[in-house]
């Protein structure tokens, strides 16, 4: 189970004066940009949570904090009851991370990419060999196991990134816009992978702009705007709250309601 409470993160800025649009954005102050101000939600085992929000809402910063790449200024993150911020190195062993950019080393082969990452997680050579072979068979990757990542197709790269993220059997999987820029085949691979995790009971958190993916996979959604959680609930609750059966319209209505009133408060 993943619990996130009162997460906040600010970045120092060195601007002499703010533009008009920045002045109207409540996240800007004279010296800092408060990218995430108060984000809270939870994700139960076997649950897929969709993290939604307009561009620049603070989704990536939130996911980077959850993956421990960034350290929050405030708040707590717990994975299966263990505080991530207290022991980030141990927490990383429990997290699997995947993004659309894949982050593969072009000059390493598929197998080398997977094995290198697994060894960073402290896996023995024997365990690495066994697990990587099993995953590559499962994902039909054996034919390109010895090909360098730089020469792989987008779909092959995504499969490699998926295998890499699953090598250490993570307790939680975080996906930052994993289908962004992918063709239909590669996208299906990712969606199938998320489905598989759900079946296995692994909590999955993924940010996306595609409501069809949310509708197909998510149990609940978290909507972030101006660095704050403005909605958390089931898809049915989102439709009800957004006063529309179409998730796109419901999302826009929630943003308009919460976002607009929030801006007005400032």
Partner 1 sequence: MWQIFKKEILELQRDRKTLIMVVLLPMIIMPIILGLIAAFAGQQQAKAQQKEFVYQIISQGGFEDFEKKMFYHKRFKKSDLQLSSEDEAKTAIREGKIDLVLFIPKKKTGTQHQWKIFRDESSTYELYLSKELHTALKGFEQKLTQSLLLAQGIDEKEHHAILDPIVIEEVDMSEGRELFGQLAGPVIAMLLISSCFMGASYPALDIGAGEKERGTLETLLISPTSRTAIVMGKFMTVMFTGLISTTLTILNMLFWSNIAASVFDIQKVQVILTQFSASDVIQLYVLMLPLAAVFASILCALSIYAKNYKEAQNYHSNVALPILFLPYVAMIPGFEMDASSAMVPILNTALATKELMKGTLEMNMMMLIFSSTLALAVASVFFCVRLFQKESVLFRT
**Site residues (vs partner 1, CB under 8 A):** 11-12, 64, 67-71, 89-90, 92-93, 95, 97, 99, 101-108, 112, 116-117, 119-122, 148
- What is the closest distance, in whole angstroms, from the C-beta atom of residue 128 to partner 1 in the complex? 11
Determine contact, residues 176/213, Cβ cutoff 8 Å: no
- What is the closest distance, in whole angstroms, from the C-beta atom of residue 90 to partner 1 in the complex? 7
Residue whose CB is less far from partner 1, 119 or 209: 119
Residue whose CB is less far from partner 1, 112 or 257: 112
- What is the closest distance, in whole angstroms, from the C-beta atom of residue 60 to partner 1 in the complex? 10
Q: Which residues, at least 6 apart from 163, have a Cβ–Cβ distance to it below 8 Å? A: 114, 132, 135, 136, 139, 141
Q: Is 163 exposed, middle or buried (0-12, 13-18, 19+ CB in 10 A)?
A: buried
- What is the closest distance, in whole angstroms, from the C-beta atom of residue 66 to partner 1 in the complex? 10
Count of beta carbons in the 10 Å neighbourhood of residue 165: 24
Which residues does residue 52 pair with via DSSP β-bridges, in sequence order?
223
- What is the closest distance, in whole angstroms, from the C-beta atom of residue 119 to partner 1 in the complex? 5
- What is the closest distance, in whole angstroms, from the C-beta atom of residue 122 to partner 1 in the complex? 7
Q: Kindly report the CA angle at 170 between 47 and 165, in degrees rounded to 5? A: 105
Residue whose CB is less far from partner 1, 73 or 232: 73
- What is the closest distance, in whole angstroms, from the C-beta atom of residue 214 to partner 1 in the complex? 24
> CA–CA separation, 163 vs 176, rounded Å?
16
Q: Is 248 exposed, middle or buried (0-12, 13-18, 19+ CB in 10 A)?
A: middle
Count of beta carbons in the 10 Å neighbourhood of residue 86: 11
User: What's the distance, Cα to Cα, between the start and end of the chain in Å?
Assistant: 35
Closest CA to 91 of 171, 166, 162: 171
Residue whose CB is less far from partner 1, 55 or 199: 55
Per the rule left: phi > 0, alpha: psi between -120 and 50, beta: everything else, 102 is: left
Residue whose CB is less far from partner 1, 176 or 228: 176
Residue whose CB is less far from partner 1, 160 or 229: 160
Residue whose CB is less far from partner 1, 58 or 242: 58
Determine contact, residues 50/214, Cβ cutoff 8 Å: yes
């Amino acid at each position: 189970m993943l619990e996130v409470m009162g997460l906040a993160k600010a970045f120092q800025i060195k601007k002499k004066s703010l533009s008009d649009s920045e002045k109207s954005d409540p996240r800007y102050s004279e010296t800092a940009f408060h990218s995430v101000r108060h984000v809270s939600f939870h994700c139960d085992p076997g649950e897929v949570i969709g993290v939604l929000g307009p561009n620049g809402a603070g989704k990536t910063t939130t996911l980077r904090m959850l993956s421990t790449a960034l350290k929050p200024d405030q708040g707590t993150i717990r994975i299966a009851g263990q505080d991530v911020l207290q022991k980030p190195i141990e927490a990383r062993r429990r997290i699997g991370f995947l993004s659309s950019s894949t982050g593969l080393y072009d000059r390493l082969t598929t197998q080398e990419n997977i094995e290198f990452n697994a060894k960073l997680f402290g896996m023995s050579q024997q365990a690495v060999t066994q697990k990587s072979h099993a995953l590559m068979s499962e994902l039909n990757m054996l034919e390109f196991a010895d090909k360098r990542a730089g020469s792989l197709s987008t779909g092959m790269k995504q499969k490699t990134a998926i295998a890499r993220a699953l090598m250490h059997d993570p307790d939680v999987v975080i996906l930052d816009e994993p289908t962004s820029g992918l063709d239909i085949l590669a996208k299906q691979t990712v969606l199938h992978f998320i489905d598989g995790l759900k079946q296995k009971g692994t909590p999955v958190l993924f940010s996306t702009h595609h409501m069809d993916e949310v509708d197909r996979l998510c149990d609940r959604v978290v909507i972030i705007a101006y660095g704050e959680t403005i909605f958390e609930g089931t898809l049915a609750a989102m439709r009800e709250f957004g006063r529309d059966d179409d998730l796109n319209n419901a999302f826009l209505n929630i943003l308009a309601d919460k976002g607009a009133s929030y801006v007005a408060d400032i």
